[in-house]
Amino acid sequence: MIKVQKLFYDYGGRGQYAVREVSFTIGDGEIFGFLGPSGAGKSTVQNLITGILPLQQGEVSYDGVSLQEGGRSFFNKIGVSFEHPNLYPALTGLENLKYYRGFFAGPTQDPLTLMERVGLGEAAHKKTREYSRGMKQRLVLARSLLNQPHYLFLDEPTSGLDPNTAEQIREIIREKKEECGGIFLTTHNMHLASELCDRVALLNNGEIVAQDTPRNLQLEYGERAFKAEYSDNGELQEKIFFPEREEDRVQLKDLIASNRIQTLHSQEASLEQVFIRLTGRELT
């Protein structure tokens, strides 16, 4: 379990906090989504909880052990995948993994098997400067899994990927969820967060404005309503029905009985709408 308590961070030391009173926990086998627009403080929080930045205020612990007690060997337990792929361009994909693997002290996975798992088996001996953006992204994800990490930090893992590859990546993340002590996922992609995350935190100006399961947030901040599209004398009509109102309930019941409904959708808010409602600004 990852426990983060009351994190504050001030880059300039002048009282202008990039991160303020950020607290959350990530349970074993849980995917925790961290959502927020650019500049909200997501990277600072990730850098603090992965030990890149020194803690100024607050506490970070992994399975009850303070982050500061681990030293650099702490990095044997975590895997980090970056949004912007960072690879040695003159080295092949396999070489990139092979040499990165050599940094770790514990057991590691076979690089070629990992490359095959992310669909890069055939490109293993190609230099990464010849890889497409999507291939690089997958290789960076594979690199983050080399040391069989107990905690995984993923930054926009499906950004810029085609739908098939993105689905492959989502599948790998779901698999890892079962094996990991926690996955910290940073993304702008609301669909990804809704689909994968057990809980999400919405970050704005360095502060968490809400955190819960995606469903609870959507229900709490959305409207209880249904939007129906139906035909009326050959023309397509659209109407929102509120189940709290007796009149709407009767009307919807009649519409269903008349068999004229073409589409019917519940009107819970998307995470994007929840964020806008809470902060007045968009996520992207």
The verdict on 87 binding another protein (CB under 8 A) reads yes
Residues 100-129 that bind another protein (CB under 8 A): 100, 102-105
Helix axes 133-145, 93-101, angle to 10 degrees: 20
The verdict on 280 binding another protein (CB under 8 A) reads no
Question: Hey, how many other C-beta atoms are within 10 angstroms of the C-beta on 123?
Answer: 19
Under DSSP, the state recorded for 266 is E
Contact 229, 236 (CB under 8 A): yes
Rounded (to 5) percent helix, strand, coil in the chain: 35, 25, 35
Contact 79, 149 (CB under 8 A): yes
The verdict on 236 binding another protein (CB under 8 A) reads no
The verdict on 243 binding another protein (CB under 8 A) reads no
Under DSSP, the state recorded for 244 is T
Per-residue contact track with another protein, 167 to 206, x per CB under 8 A?
----------------------------------------
**Closest distance of CB 52 from another protein, Å:** 4
What is the rounded distance in angstroms from the CA atom of residue 186 to the CA atom of residue 164?
21
The verdict on 135 binding another protein (CB under 8 A) reads no
The verdict on 99 binding another protein (CB under 8 A) reads yes
**Closest distance of CB 274 from another protein, Å:** 31
Question: Which residues here bind another protein, judged by CB under 8 A?
Answer: 47-48, 50-55, 67-68, 70-76, 78, 80, 82, 84-91, 95, 99-100, 102-105, 143, 153
